[in-house]
Amino acid sequence: MNYFHKANELYNSKDYKNAIEMYQKSSQSYEAKPVCLYNSAVCFIKLQDYIKAIPLLKAAIKLKTQSIYFFNLGYCYAMIKDYKNALIYFNTAWSLDSKDKDCEKAINLIVKSLRK
């Protein structure tokens, strides 16, 4: 069985809990590990379990540097109201992809709310 393919099918059908299990099984391959960690984290984000998503995103980042990984880590921190870490990770994402308007928006929203 191709666990990664099955995990993606489950994700697309919004069965996030079972998708996480399949991504974990699929992560046995080193090449697939960063994306499986990231996709598992996204499932936790969809389930609004940001605390469980954070270590998965950090583990994915250790294996592969991608702007979207940092962006979602910033998002998780913003959702738990840890704005210092949110800004750090949004800024890191933006430094990796300066064309990402979502990073710019997120940073501006946090800074604006902190100034009030």
Condensed to tens digits (0 to 9), the pLDDT of residues 73-108 reads 999 999 999 999 999 999 999 999 999 899 889 998
SS3 letters across 25-56: HHCCCCCCHHHHHHHHHHHHHHCCCHHHHHHH
- Residue 1: is its pLDDT beyond 90? no
How many CB atoms sit inside 10 A of residue 58's CB?
A: 14
The whole-number pLDDT of residue 14 equals 96
Q: How far apart are CA 74 and CA 39, in angstroms?
A: 16
Q: Give the domain 1-64 fold.
A: 1.25.40
Residue 97 carries which DSSP code?
A: -
The model's pTM is 0.90
Instruction: Report pLDDT digits (tens) over 22-68.
Output: 998 888 766 778 999 999 999 999 999 999 999 999 999 999 999 99
Token code pair at residue 87: 């800004």
The whole-number pLDDT of residue 32 equals 79
For the chain, what are the domain ranges? Answer: 1-64, 70-116
Instruction: Please check whether residue 26 is in contact with residue 4, taking contact to mean a CB–CB distance below 8 angstroms.
Output: yes
